[in-house]
Each structure stands twice: as C-alpha cells, then as structure tokens.
C-alpha cells in the first residue's frame, strides 16, 4: 500500500476501483474526503470478474496517471495489489450472493458477481473501512454488495453515489475509451432511452412492459444491440410490472463490440 498522506487514524473511507480513473471515480473520492478523515483507494483489475472471452488483457490501465490524480484529489493511501497477492495459489474460497448473481448482467457474464463479491470482501477485510463509496452506474453490483454486507454482518457501510455523465448524457465509464467516433454517437442511446422512460412515467405511464418495449425499439433503431432492458425494484432487483417509487430501469447494450450499462430511477 502506498501512503500519499499521513493523517491521524480516524474514520476511514474506501473507494474500490479497477483504475483508469475518470470523473465518476473522482466524485466517489470527493465524497470520501469530505466525510472521512482518511481516504483509501484500491486499484486492482480483478481477473476473477472477467469471463474467458472478455477484455481482461485489454482493459485500460495507467497507474502513474491514476496515482497523480488521486494525490491531487486528497487521497491518503492507494492499495494496488497484484493478482498473486489477492489470489495466492492454490486458491479455493469464493463468495456469491445466490439468485441475484445470475440475473441481468449475471446472465450475460456467468461468474462475474462471484468474482466481484470475493474481491470486495477481501478488500474490505484488508482495508477495514468504516465507509465504502460506490457509484450507482452498476446498480446490480451495488445492490448485491449491499446484501452481501448485510448477510455477512460486515460493519462497513456502503454509500451509493450518483452516476456522473458526459454533457450529452452518456454515463462515465472506463470502457468508453473503446468507442470510436461513430460508436460514441450511438452510445447516447442508453441515457436517451432512460430519460425518455422517466418522462413517460412523469406523464402518467405506469406499465413497465410498455416502457421496456419502447426503450428496446429506440435502442435497436439507433444501431446498438440490446443485451437487456428491465425495470426492477431498487431494493431487491425483482421485476416490476407497475411503476412505483422503487422502480428503476436497468439497461445493458452492445455498441459495436463494447458492452455498456446504465440505469435510472423512474419516479
């Protein structure tokens, strides 16, 4: 672990990342530095959450840039382990939140959330933070990890933070770097579908199936490929038929070869 500053021991805030930091990550850092005495950020491209045909090797990395950004933004410590440190051989122990790990992104990425839960539990046990700050962009991940913390009686409190967007609405993501200029224009179809659904709900539409059908049609018309569009309860990811205060639309889309996700509270 690299110490960037040396404050007195007190409330610890933690931001787990896979690096290649953007404004979304830095917004989590800002929440931690504002509310905690010590802020720790981890940078670890976790091999356990990548499938055999996914982008583990090509995932963008720039440790020197990340460390400079974190120092500029008031981070006290950065933890950047290597895979052998996190998964010593032979490795046997895995953590999984049943049921919720096999739906939505879990259906498209088998084993993904087992890797996420395992590495986050290990990081929390190493860092021992009072608070962990995570973005709402991967809402399924946020929900699963919150349930894991509850079920395993972990004392760390997870703080969900708002999605940070580009000026045209595209959610910030490290994978946005994969998009060429044409795909970048197409990628706004995710946020456009979400905000169109929210506007329809504000106008009185409450039928989830109708909202989903419109979003899928609009995304397909844009030239992107729908992985899923679902409306779920924000508390447990159960499918919603009628929109209420807990309803959230979650979207996963392939734009070219790049898989992007986004979501929005509808009411």
Which residues form the catalytic set? 25
Nearest to 26 by CA among 161, 190, 175, 179: 161
- The Cβ of residue 157 has, within 10 Å, a number of other Cβ atoms equal to 12
SS3 215: helix
Residue 257 to residue 206: CA distance in whole angstroms: 33
Contacts of 182 (CB under 8 A, 6+ apart): none
DSSP state of 204: T
- SS3 per residue for 109-136: CCCHHHHHHHHHHHHHHHHCCCEEEEEC
Q: How long, in residues, is the chain?
A: 267
Structure tokens at 3: 């110490």
């Amino acid at each position: 672990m690299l110490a960037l500053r040396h404050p007195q021991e007190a409330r610890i805030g933690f931001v787990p990342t896979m690096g290649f930091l953007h404004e979304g990550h830095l917004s989590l850092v800002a929440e931690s530095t504002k509310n905690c005495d010590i802020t720790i950020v981890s940078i670890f491209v976790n091999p356990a959450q990548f499938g055999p045909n996914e982008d583990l090797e090509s995932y963008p990395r720039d440790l020197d840039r990340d460390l400079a950004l974190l120092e500029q933004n008031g981070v006290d410590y950065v933890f950047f382990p290597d895979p052998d440190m996190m998964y010593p051989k032979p490795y046997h122990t895995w953590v999984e939140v049943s049921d919720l790990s096999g739906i939505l992104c879990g259906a498209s990425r088998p084993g993904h959330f087992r890797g996420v839960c395992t590495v986050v539990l290990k990081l929390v046990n190493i860092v021992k933070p009072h608070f962990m700050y995570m973005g709402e962009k991967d809402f399924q991940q946020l929900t699963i990890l919150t349930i894991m913390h509850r079920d395993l009686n972990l004392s760390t409190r997870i703080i969900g933070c708002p999605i940070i967007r580009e000026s045209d609405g595209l959610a910030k993501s490290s994978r946005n770097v994969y998009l060429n200029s044409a795909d970048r224009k197409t990628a706004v179809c995710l946020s456009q579908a979400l905000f169109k659904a929210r506007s329809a709900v504000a106008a009185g539409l409450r039928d989830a199936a109708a909202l989903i059908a419109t979003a899928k049609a609009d995304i397909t018309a844009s030239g992107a490929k729908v992985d899923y569009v679902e409306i779920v309860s924000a508390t447990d990811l159960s499918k919603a038929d009628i929109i209420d205060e807990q309803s959230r639309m979650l979207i996963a889309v392939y734009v070219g070869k790049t898989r992007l996700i986004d979501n929005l509270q509808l009411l």
